[in-house]
Structure 1
Amino acid sequence: MSAITTLDKSTVLARAQAAINNRTRYVEMLFDAAIGAAAAHSAVADARETAAIADTAFEKAYRDAVAVGWTPAELSAAGLPTSSAPRRPARRSTPRRSRTTPAPTTSDTSTAPDDSASNDQQATA
């Protein structure tokens, strides 16, 4: 008789199910982590949008204060932050150099002697 007849079917199935459950647990953890990461990225995007709106409101209020006669020095002396509008990055003073990769060198095999002809002659001799 073969060794398979000495095994209990329910034991084999239980072991297989345990292995499947163990592997599935990692997929579940991966799914939960992906949901958490998506929520965090969404919160960051919302926070950036809220911060941008607040920065815009601050800049407008600062310009309005200066427009009615307050000087930046007076506002700063009062303990208020100075206007810090986000600035565009400066342009590069020199253009970027593109990276050029050297062309691969290929050996010209058309001028090399053909050894296959001499091998064929030796094989027939």
Structure 2
Amino acid sequence: MPREVIQTDNAPLAIGTYSQAVKVGDVVYLSGQIPLEPKTMELVEGDMEAQIRQVFENLKVVAEAAGGSLAQVVKLNIYLTDLTHFPLVNATMTDYFQPPYPARAVIGVAALPREVAVEMDAIVHLGD
């Protein structure tokens, strides 16, 4: 099955050897997003909630560039350098997802790129 690389200027450019997303059939694999503002490639200003929202916004525009939406996310991985932010992720997530929620993992990590506190990746199913 051929694969298609997804690229949009509405999300941060890849800062390494990866694509923003790769589509294979009706499945889209979204690469990890951190709280970078797409236009400046700088970390979003503000508190942890602002960072979480920026990550969701980045995932959203990549999903849209692939012809989908966050409503079609079937798997979401969340990486946090401090798991005390887990309740804030849950609260913010309800602004971006409606039941039935995607499968999800929240993983505590020692560090993330550019010393951010949150990163997320996702799998989108474009089918019915």
Report the TM range for the smaller structure's normalisation: under 0.3
Between structures 1 and 2, the one with greater strand share: 2
Tell me which of the two structures has the higher relative contact order, counting C-alpha pairs closer than 8 angstroms and 6 or more residues apart: 2
Between structures 1 and 2, the one with greater helix share: 1
TM-score normalised by the chain length of structure 1: 0.21
